[in-house]
Structure 1
Amino acid sequence: MNLFSGTISSLERGLDYSAVKQKVIANNVANVDTPGYKSKDVSFEAMLQDEINLSSTAADPRHFDLSNVGSNGVSITQRPYSIRENGNGVDMDKEMADLATNQIYYNSLIERISGKFGSLNSVIKGGGQ
């Protein structure tokens, strides 16, 4: 869907990122008492940095070639540290803060995409008749 100059597609990718982040946070919380478990994190920034590095091969250095990005454009990494004696690396305070941040991000994307579809609906109905 390429409506609104790709805005809806960008919002969709943001929602995909948020869904993956939510699953990773839930997995971390579920494994809070698992000995040796290292918490995981989702990184959209790593994908963006990779694209910046690859952009030198583009026709214009200001363009990003996003054809090499995976289906959701995110990477899941393992945090290398342990915070407990049993080797577990889940920090519940950090996970809860990440969960709240992700929820705010998700809600803002939903509001934005809802507004875009509301505008489209208004156009289809004839501008508010």
Structure 2
Amino acid sequence: MSINFKNALGLHPDALNVRSKRSEILANNLANSDTPGYKARDLDFKGILKGEYENRQRMELNRTSQRHIPAAAIVMDQSLKFRMPHQPSIDGNTVETNIEQAEFAKNAMDFQSSFTFLNSKFSGLMKAMKNQG
């Protein structure tokens, strides 16, 4: 009996990819906190996961040729949003360092939680494979 890793791991590998991309965006915001006119951006994580969940409910498209482009992909650019500042700055920069640092720390904890859960899934799969042999 073969193991389908996509079903066994769920969407945790995708969640790690999104959280990794989000940490890059938040780090970029922090790096540009003194750049005049810079607009802080962030990913809509819930929107991405909701879109992925809705995509799983749709009928898959069949490709009649290997040269056809597959229809499934996470599009990060559409989920990249500008952050609305609580206190806009005079120079047009919308980065609020305290908020960006808090979001970065929260994202790091969420990444670690997803990673820990994924690690436990792999440990369970390893135990199952050892017990079958």
Fold in common (TM above 0.5):
yes
Residue type matched to 1:108 in 2?
A: S
Secondary structure (helix, strand or coil) at the match of 1:84 reads: coil
Q: Is the 8 A contact 2:16 2:114 kept in 1?
A: yes
Residue type matched to 2:37 in 1?
A: G
Report deviation, 1:87: 0.7
Q: Paired residue for 1:32?
A: 33
| Structure 2: gaps spanning 5 or more residues | 61-70
CA–CA distance in 1 between the matches of 2:103 and 2:84? 18
Report deviation, 1:75: 1.5
1:94 has 2:96 as partner: no
User: Residues 53-77 of structure 1: CA distance to partner in whole angstroms, max 9, x if unpaired?
Assistant: xx6xx9xxxx356855425697211
Report deviation, 1:115: 0.5
CA–CA distance in 2 between the matches of 1:121 and 1:39? 42
- Runs (4+) off by over 6 Å: none
Residue type matched to 1:39 in 2?
A: A
If the length of structure 2 is used for normalisation, what is the TM-score? 0.72
Percent identity over the alignment is 26
User: Residues 75-111 of structure 1: CA distance to partner in whole angstroms, max 9, x if unpaired?
Assistant: 2112355721111100011101101110111111111
| Structure 1: gaps spanning 5 or more residues | none
Secondary structure (helix, strand or coil) at the match of 2:42 reads: strand
Q: Is the 8 A contact 1:42 1:74 kept in 2?
A: no
Q: Paired residue for 2:67?
A: none
CA–CA distance in 2 between the matches of 1:99 and 1:89? 16
CA–CA distance in 1 between the matches of 2:22 and 2:102? 13
Q: Is the 8 A contact 1:47 1:69 kept in 2?
A: no
CA–CA distance in 2 between the matches of 1:124 and 1:99? 37
If the length of structure 1 is used for normalisation, what is the TM-score? 0.74
Q: Is the 8 A contact 2:52 2:74 kept in 1?
A: no
